């Protein structure tokens, strides 16, 4: 923890830098946010802001500050430029935006019957802020900068790799020291949890393969392949089963969606590397194989959380207990299910969390979001050339990565990179057009 003086100084410098960037080059805030997502440790950099932290939904972090800067930059552009207001009209009229609004609306309605109205109201406000972030990305992103978020995530992933290896080798964690205890040390690096780190590394590996495709010359491709090996090694060190499975599923889909030699060759190399890592470290293979035994083998903690979510869903199948109210209801009615003394009381599985909190209405709203995303991806593939489609596929696979991994560590709609990916995908789907309603 930094001394208080340095915390305030760093906060002021961060705000000044974001204001300057938002005024001069607002579109660059998007890759800046993508990189900032790797620095969850930034909550220890800034001072406590009291009641303002409640409005921000928790501790001050670089991601939250950058998100606010992005939204304000988009508002400033709306006030100055008429063409941006036309673009906003087209964006608001798109199928994906309406699907997101419907989901947020279902959560908003749950305030009326929620078991914890305060928490529900806080969660609705957070979703509204993230919806505004998606709109800001859709308005501020530029076609010529379509690769910058991929570069940002890839660069931060590579920079974190030495730290991950150091933590795994020494059991000296720079943050969240409790994860160094026990037989299996799982380095979280700058994240709150090793599974979230693994998610970010998978995103970086997707970015790596796409950037390899665009790399010119054997030297550049060789550097990307070395980076790919380092990222794969760091992912292995997290011992994240959800990370391993997500990587496998996403890369199989990448091979199907982009069956190009410049993608397939690195994929094959990564497959060989993964096989060598698993063969060389039996502990990793043994941990991975526990998945086949069912959800009960994954984690006793997740098992009772899923059972509690199912019980909540059965009790109120249509509407659920209210957005964000899972923990309140669990502590009040289902604490007897808790089989781990120091276990979690927050749900870790996105689908079950939505089922418990929003019932069938929430599940239908989430399915509608996925339908809109599939429609958007199909539209992108029809309208764009090969290179633009590959970039669009990368953002689509980022969304899928976040969704798959969220079944083990939640944070789907709560993940800022999800909304960034959707905003970038929407902008790419325009095929260079400045606007135009999607529903026509």
pLDDT at 289 over 80: no
**Confidence grade of residue 53 (pLDDT, cut at 50, 70, 90):** low
328 versus 379: the higher-pLDDT residue is 328
**Confidence grade of residue 294 (pLDDT, cut at 50, 70, 90):** very low
The confidence score (pLDDT) of residue 438 equals: 38
The confidence score (pLDDT) of residue 439 equals: 40
The confidence score (pLDDT) of residue 288 equals: 60
Among the listed ranges 60-74, 207-221, 339-353, which one has the minimum average pLDDT value? 339-353
The confidence score (pLDDT) of residue 54 equals: 60
Mean per-residue pLDDT of the chain: 87
Q: In this structure, are residues 149 and 30 in contact, taking their beta carbons and an 8 Å threshold?
A: yes
- Of 214, 193, 232, nearest to 151 by C-alpha is 214
The confidence score (pLDDT) of residue 183 equals: 66
Q: What angle, rounded to 10 degrees, do the helices at 218-237 and 241-257 form?
A: 150
The confidence score (pLDDT) of residue 436 equals: 37
Domain segments of the chain: what residues? 1-80, 144-260
The pLDDT tens digits of the residues spanning 108-131 come to 999 999 999 999 999 999 999 999
pLDDT at 433 over 50: no
The confidence score (pLDDT) of residue 292 equals: 47
Q: Which residue has the tokens 């309603």?
A: 437
**Confidence grade of residue 272 (pLDDT, cut at 50, 70, 90):** confident
pLDDT at 437 over 50: no
The confidence score (pLDDT) of residue 432 equals: 47
**Residue 399: Cβ-neighbour burial (10 angstroms; 0-12, 13-18, 19+):** buried
Contacts of 258 (CB under 8 A, 6+ apart): 213, 389, 390, 393
């Amino acid at each position: 923890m930094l001394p208080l003086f340095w915390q305030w100084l760093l906060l002021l410098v961060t705000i000044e830098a974001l204001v300057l960037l938002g005024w001069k080059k607002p579109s660059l805030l998007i890759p800046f946010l993508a990189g900032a997502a790797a620095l969850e440790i930034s909550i220890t950099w800034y001072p406590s802001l009291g009641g303002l932290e409640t409005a921000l939904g928790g501790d001050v972090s670089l991601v939250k500050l950058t998100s606010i800067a992005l939204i304000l930059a988009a508002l400033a552009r709306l006030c100055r430029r008429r063409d941006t207001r036309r673009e906003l009209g087209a964006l608001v009229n798109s199928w994906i935006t309406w699907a997101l609004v419907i989901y947020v609306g279902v959560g908003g309605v749950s305030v009326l019957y929620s078991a914890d109205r305060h928490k529900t109201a806080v969660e609705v406000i957070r979703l509204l802020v993230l919806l505004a972030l998606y709109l800001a990305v859709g308005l501020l992103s530029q076609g010529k900068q379509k690769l910058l978020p991929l570069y940002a995530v890839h660069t931060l992933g590579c920079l974190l790799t030495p730290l991950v290896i150091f933590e795994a080798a020494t059991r000296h964690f720079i943050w969240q020291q409790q994860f160094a205890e026990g037989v299996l040390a799982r380095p979280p690096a700058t994240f709150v949890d090793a599974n979230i780190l693994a998610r970010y590394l998978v995103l970086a590996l997707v970015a790596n393969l796409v950037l390899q495709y665009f790399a010119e010359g054997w030297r550049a491709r060789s550097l990307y392949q070395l980076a790919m090996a380092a990222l794969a090694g760091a992912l292995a060190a997290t011992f994240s089963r959800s990370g391993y499975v997500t990587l496998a599923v996403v890369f199989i889909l990448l091979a199907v969606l982009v069956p190009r030699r410049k993608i397939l060759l690195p994929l094959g190399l990564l497959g060989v590397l993964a096989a060598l890592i698993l063969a060389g470290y039996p502990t990793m293979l043994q941990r991975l194989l526990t998945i086949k035994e069912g959800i009960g083998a994954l984690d006793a903690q997740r098992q009772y959380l899923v059972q509690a979510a199912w019980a909540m869903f059965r009790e109120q199948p249509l509407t659920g207990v209210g957005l964000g109210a899972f923990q309140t209801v669990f502590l009040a009615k289902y604490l007897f299910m808790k089989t781990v003394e120091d276990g979690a009381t927050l749900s870790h599985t996105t689908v079950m969390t939505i089922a418990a909190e929003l019932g069938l209405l929430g599940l239908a709203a989430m399915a509608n979001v996925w339908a809109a995303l599939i429609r958007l991806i199909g539209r992108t593939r029809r309208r764009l050339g090969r290179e633009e489609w590959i970039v669009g596929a990368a953002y689509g696979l980022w969304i899928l990565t976040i969704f798959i991994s969220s079944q083990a560590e939640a944070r789907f709609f709560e993940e800022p990179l999800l909304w960034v990916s959707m905003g970038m995908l929407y902008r790419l789907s325009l095929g260079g057009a400045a606007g135009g309603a999607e529903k026509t």
